[in-house]
Amino acid sequence: MSDSTKKVSPQRLAWEKHTLEPALSKSPERQKEFTTVSGYPIRRLYTEDDLAGWDPARDLGSPGDPPYARGIHATMHRGRLWTMRQFAGFGTAEDTNQRFRYLLAHGQTGLSTAFDLPTLMGYDSDHALSEGEVGKCGVAISSLADMEVLFDGIPLADVTTSMTINSPAAVIWAMYLAVAEKQGADWKKISGTLQNDILKEYIAQKEYIYPPEPSMRLVIDTYEFGVKHTPKFNVISISGYHIREAGSTAIQELAFTLRDGMEYVEWALRRGLKVDDFVPQLSFFFNAHNDFFEEIAKYRAARRIWCKAMTERYNSQNPRCWALRFHTQTAGCSLTAQQPMNNVVRTAIQALAGVLGGTQSLHTNSLDEAWALPTEFAATLALRTQQIIAHETGVTNTVDPLGGSYFVETLTNEVEQGAWDYVRRIDAMGGMVAAIEKSYPQREVAEASYRYQMAVDKKEKVIVGVNDYVTQERPLDILQIDESVAQRQAARLRKLRADRSSAEVDRRLTALRKAAEGSENLMPFIFDAVKAYATLGEICEAMRTVFGPYEEVAVT
Amino acid sequence: MPEKKIRVLIAKPGLDGHDRGAKIIARALRDAGMEVIYTGLRQTPEMIASASAQEDVDVIGLSILSGAHNTLCPQLMKLLREKGMHEVTVLVGGIIPEADIPALKQSGVAEVFLPGTSTQNIIDFIHKRLASAR
């Protein structure tokens, strides 16, 4: 509903005339326009006038009931706190295994694995293109042997693990399942999340290997495999996080993520899967940026959109499909290299938005992440931030404390509307894969990111310590990863290749290649290759020979 | 006669796909009247050196956020020297620990821009640097 058609109450008119106008004439407001961090306009005051046509029974509902605006569980964080899941990974599998054990010992309740760039791109640590990158942005995993070390002494039957891996997701998941099998953990009971969201790679993070078509096939292969063998595992985490980090607005993050979700559903339906069987294993992942209320509105709108899409667009009969479950990570792109201690404050407020928005799990960034991967000190402080929100602030005492706020409900409506507009535009283009091939979401994000940067450069948006309140500082003590990680990985790969049966590896890679040429589900072939200690690089290369590489059209 | 436009190559070396910064810089320099070539992702130092020679650029801007700068930058500088491209100004932007900056400059990098740098600072730096070289 636009402002011009809105009915204004007599009370509001009287206030404007007798109270507001004199106040404004005495002291004007600080700015002509107030906007969110996304540049979305915010009005002076929200009242019941803004909610004309809003039906609390239909649009708000009750917690645990459709449309889930108030959260997906009846008791929300009174019943169970969110999972505190700190993303970790650096160096070799041994290094990260130690960090995992440390985090679990300090009250973290789930694991989340960061892989290094060679792993994310499907290259072994000793590949020429891996030079300088091994173990830097995450842990280096080149084979099942590395995965065995990564989870050594961590019972996969009891711990839920999230793995941030996309293009090679099927291979890394196969390694994880092989470790679980070796530990004697029941696949039917193990739980965790595979990121496995290739669409947002083309849109934002750009860690793709193959073109969209075969990549989508691999994703749907994992759904099919997961429905059958690992009913408790989230086979995908449909991610807005990276779209936002690439510079999108909140509405773009919401719209592209949910439209990605619909794209996966539609590809799975075409494979012959049934909505009510596989959708319960889909999960979502959003960013928590600086603009507190915009973020909360985004999470609430996300749940409403998904519920509507499931019930109206896909005729789902299973309520477990309707409720959008999501992970939240505070915004890495909001952290400043300058005055890094300020990042603790930013992160705390962003995390609070995630909690008030009804998140199921949360990662809080560390203060030093504009410089490097976190030190143990910084990572612990980030975890403590969540524990303070959970146990000291009182915000978990009641369900959806912001429900019914004129501002929050209006913003939720507007953000939802904005997202549906994008969904319709992408539908008209023929879906998300078609839109990506036209560079549509890429261009929208690049535009938004440039607009934001110009606003910061012109100081229309103040960033404390960066374009205002600037001081001289001393450098931080940061985590440095040296090249010995690459040498240790190379030595381990040499040994692996010498110890395994290369005839068996060749046989299984050939079988995988043949299957890739046809239309069979590739998961069993990948699993076989992994168990013979074929490396990540070898497996990805086998598929690359069939699928070919993907090159994007760079949009600037 | 109008002054010759400054030619800039913006490149992302290494495996990292985080191209937000590179794209913003490419566009800001273009808006400031420079001729900008953006190479796209995953360029090896060899690819960057030969593209720079071919395009006859005045400035190369590298965006690196992955921690691979200590490997990639010296490799590129060596290749540029081998091609006799002593004049080209090499700038690095991204996540670079302050402790690594002296060694990068030693290898021939003209300046390192850290997160939070305004695009105007970079534009000003390029103008000043090229004016003093001419």
Q: Mean pLDDT in runs of 10 for chain A (556 residues)?
A: 67 96 97 96 96 96 98 97 92 95 87 96 97 94 98 94 97 98 97 97 97 98 98 97 98 98 98 97 98 98 98 98 98 96 98 98 96 92 97 98 98 98 98 97 97 96 96 87 91 97 98 98 98 98 97 83
- The answer to whether the CB atoms of A132 and B14 lie below 8 A apart is yes
Q: Which residues of A are less than 8 Å from B14 in CB distance?
A: 117, 132-133
Characterize the bridge pairing of strands A233-234 and A236-239: unpaired
Task: State whether A556 and B97 contact (CB < 8 Å).
Answer: no
Contact across the interface for A554 and B118, Cβ inside 8 Å: no
pLDDT given at position B1: 52
- A216 residue type, one letter: M
Judged against a pLDDT cut of 50, whether residue B102 lies above it is answered with yes
B20 to A131: CB separation less than 8 angstroms, yes or no:
no
The answer as to whether A477 is a domain residue is no
**Residue A553: which of A441, A445, A473, A439 has the closest Cα?**
A439
DSSP element (H, E) containing A454: helix A440-457
With respect to residue A498, please indicate whether it lies within any of the assigned structural domains: no
Contact A117 B15 (CB under 8 A): yes
Put simply, the answer to whether B67 touches A467 (Cβ < 8 Å) is: no
A contact test, residue of B8, B10, B15, B29 with most A CBs within 10 A: B15
Selecting from B15, B30, B41 the residue whose C-beta is nearest the C-beta of A133 gives B15
- Those residues whose C-beta lies under 8 Å from the C-beta of residue A73, and which sit 6 or more positions away, are A63, A64, A79, A80
Q: How far is A286 from chain B (nearest CA, A)?
A: 18
pLDDT of residue A2: 44
In a domain, residue A225? The reply is yes
Sign of CA dihedral A15, A21, A27, A32: positive
Q: Where are the domains of chain B?
A: 7-133
In the structure encoding, which two tokens stand for residue A406, read together?
């004129």
The two structure tokens encoding residue A486: 């690459």
**CA proximity to A221, closest of A525, A12, A474, A458:** A525
Length of chain A as a residue count: 556
User: Do the domain assignments include residue A401?
Assistant: yes
Q: Which residue of B has its CA nearest to A339?
A: B116
- Structural domain count of chain A: 1
Distance of CA A538 to the CA centre of its chain: 28
- The partner residue sitting opposite B97, judged by closest CB among A207, A338, A371, is A371
Inter-chain contact A480–B36, Cβ cutoff 8 Å? no
Any idea what the CATH number is for the domain that residue A293 is in?
Answer: 3.20.20.240
Chain B partners of A465 at a C-beta cutoff of 8 Å? 116
**8 Å CB contact of A475 and B40:** no
Q: Which of B64, B63, B65, B27 is nearest to A555 (CA)?
A: B27
Structural domain of residue A332, as residue ranges?
67-457
Question: What is the architecture, at CATH level 2, of domain B7-133?
Answer: 3-Layer(aba) Sandwich (3.40)
In a domain, A51, yes or no: no
Selected residues 58-97 of chain B with any CB under 8 Å from a CB in chain A: 66-68, 70-72, 95, 97
pTM score, whole prediction: 0.96
B115 touches A at CB < 8 Å = yes
Task: Examine residue A60 and state whether it is found in any structural domain, yes or no.
Answer: no
What mean pLDDT, rounded, does chain B reach? Answer: 95
pLDDT score for A350: 98
In angstroms, rounded to a whole number, what is the distance separating the alpha carbons of residues A428 and A435? 9
Of all residues in chain B, the one with the smallest CA distance to A555 is B23
Question: So what's the pLDDT on residue A5?
Answer: 58
What the block records as the tokens of A164 is 């941030």
> Residue A510 falls within a domain, yes or no?
no
Is B44 at the interface with chain A, CB within 8 A? yes
* Chain A residues close to B112, C-beta within 8 Å: none
- pLDDT for A200 equals 98
Band the pLDDT of B3: cuts 50, 70, 90: confident
